[in-house]
Amino acid sequence: MTFLQRLPKLPFTVLPLTYFARPTAASLSTMNGSTPAPHPPDSKLNDDTHWRAVLSPTQFRILREAGTERPGSGEYNKHFPKHGYYACAGCGNPVYEAGTKFDSGCGWPAFFKEVDGAVKRREDRSFGSIRIEIRCSACDGHLGHVFKGEGFSTPTDERHCVNSVSIKYED
């Protein structure tokens, strides 16, 4: 339970300052102009009731409870479009350009670089190992894990191993 969830219920809604921020032309421009800028955080995105209403049970398990899908079972594992982007399935925040996806053979969609500012990283010590978990920076939805130094011939030498159910393709 987070600090905010422990606070008593108020008779009015307290909105974070970022709620009032409006996008500017500069914030909407991106590397190649095809991917929208990441969404600002929204206060309702921390509420499990909201998530259970908008996500399927599988999406909730993976995005909100840091689950994983079976390797090779995801819709986007063998999906390699030339254009477009992948957005967080929870909030629609653009997280990966289509051109950064590659076939790693791991059984999950793999990307070598996230959209700037769209993904946050944190240490994950589950299952007896230390990994780097990747989460949507807008809604804190679990995307997967990132691995470095595996020798893939990508510009970053990183493999973002992402659950298909955590993302959706936008053309």
**Residues contacting 117, CB < 8 A, separation 6+:** 38, 137
The Cα 117–Cα 98 span in angstroms is: 16
Cross-strand bridge partners of residue 111: 101, 160
Indicate the residue type of 162. V
Cα separations in angstroms, 14 against 9, 20, 52 = 10, 12, 22
Catalytic residue among 88, 91, 139, 161: 161
Helix (H, G, I), strand (E, B), or coil: what is residue 15?
A: coil
Other beta carbons less than 10 A from residue 140's beta carbon: 17
161 labelled catalytic: yes
- β-strand 101-102 against 142-148: which pairing, if any? unpaired
Q: Among all residues, which ones are annotated catalytic?
A: 161
